[in-house]
Every structure is written in structure tokens, then in C-alpha cells.
Structure 1
Amino acid sequence: MQQIEQIVASLRDEGFRITPQRMAIVDYLLKTEDHPSAELIYKVVRKRYPMVSLSTVYKTLELLREKKLVNEIEVEGETRFDAHTNEHINLVCLKCGKIDDLDEASLKDIQIKAAKKSKYLILKSNFELHGYCNDCKSKMKI
């Protein structure tokens, strides 16, 4: 995961303005373990910066996505954001929409097996597993 200083420096070097609102958006993304939607980010940042607009959040997220500083994940038609841009597996709950990260080593094992079987040279992967989180699973009648 990147540090806020690296992201700010990267954006500033490319001529982008670094406002307190943008800093708050980046800071929240880096500190949260969740994979929030733009609307959730807006609600959180607005508590500290009441003048921030939803448009600012969307524009900042789009900029961060273009610069490959965040990843987008689609969950039941809703876009969620992940500042953990290293390759990893996302576990997505089909009931509550929770997203958890699974370590990089697990993905490497899959990549190695896929490369051997397919003879592909695998350069990058984006991997999601869909199922039920522990909380939702325990509430189900199986």
C-alpha cells in the first residue's frame, strides 16, 4: 500500500492541485480496511470538510484510478474503491457486499498454476472470489 506522501508527490509532480479535500479522500482510502463507495467516502470526508462536494470525490477517485493509485471493484452494480493496488484476491460477500483482501501469496500460487497449465506469460491479474462472509454464512440455514 502506498503512503500518502508518495501519492501527493506523484500528483503534485504532474501538476495537480493538492487540496485539503483531496488529501482527506486519499488519507481515508489509505487508512480504511473497507472498500468504500464514492458516496461513503463523501459522507466520511464531509464530516471534516463540510464544503466538499460529491463531484470532488468522484473527480478525485477518477484521477486516482487513472493514475493506478486505486482499483475499482464492482459489487452488485456499485463501484467500490481499493487503495491496496498490489495484486491480491478480493473476497466479495454476495449477501452484505463486504469485501476482504486475501494475501498476495495466494494469488501467486494461482498465477503459477495458470501459467503452467495455459503456457501464458501472466503479467497482471485481478481476481475476485464471490461467496458469503463468515457473518452471513453463520446466519444461513444450510
Structure 2
Amino acid sequence: MARRQDTWWQRNKFKLNALVLILPVWFLYQSLNPQFPAAWQTKQLGDYELTPMPFNKDGPYFHHDMYVKDFLLTFSKGEVSSIRQAYLNIGEQALPLAELQQGEGGTLHGTRHGQHVHAIAKPTLTADDKMWLTVQNWQGDTWVTSWDLPEGLVQ
């Protein structure tokens, strides 16, 4: 019968199994308890009252050949179904509606409970940049509003 050498690895390799069993529990806890940044100021925009909230404190990331930043917009006043089109971009000025319509970037989508958007952005954000929301209803009325970027997003 062969003798097993009593090495450090032989004495402690079972601890690796415990780690493999514990890690899924940790990742499940993290996914069920996400930490989001605080929501931004609520603004009135025509018939609507809405509040944007970034998904994280990171800067823009590259997605589908453009830089974007993810936001959730909640409507506390006004019907989301009365919106024909709405776009969100981050820059020195609001992009023209004709330019925004050419692609799918920056388009609000979701339900009446919350609208998700990949806001069109530059790779790095400066203090001169703002977040611009352009909304058009079915009657053709168009509104534009902006929010100043918080210190954490400006690089």
C-alpha cells in the first residue's frame, strides 16, 4: 500500500471546496441587494414630472459602437403612453431631434413604472456637460430640459 505524503496541500485542500460552496451565496446576496446612487432632482417637463436615477457612479461605457451611461427615469406625473418619442443625451447641448431619430441610442424604453435609457455620452464627461432630455408627445409638442452632472461623474 502506498503511503500518502502529509503535505500542506493534502491537509488543506478541503477548504477550497468550502470556498466554492460559499461564493454563490455571496453573489446571490449581492444581486438581491443592489446599491444604486441617489436619484437626481425631480423636474417638471410639460405635462410630465420625472426623476432620473443613474444605475451606478461609473462614467460612460462603450456599447453598440457608442459611449452610453445607463439611467432609470420614473414619471410621477403624466402618462407615459402619451409620449411619442423621448431621448436622453449627455453633452454641452441637447442633440437635435432629427439627429436623435436616426439611431436607437438614447431612446427611453420600458413601462409606466420606469423608463430605462442608455444616454448617449462622450468617453469622458467635463464640467461643461449636462444631461439633456428631449420629449415629444403625439400632438407634436416638444420639450427639452437638463440636469447638471454631479461631481462624481465629471472626470
**TM-score above 0.5:** no
> Counting strand residues as a fraction of each chain, which structure ranks higher?
2
TM-score by length of 1: 0.25
Q: Look at both structures and tell me which one has the larger radius of gyration over its CA atoms.
A: 2
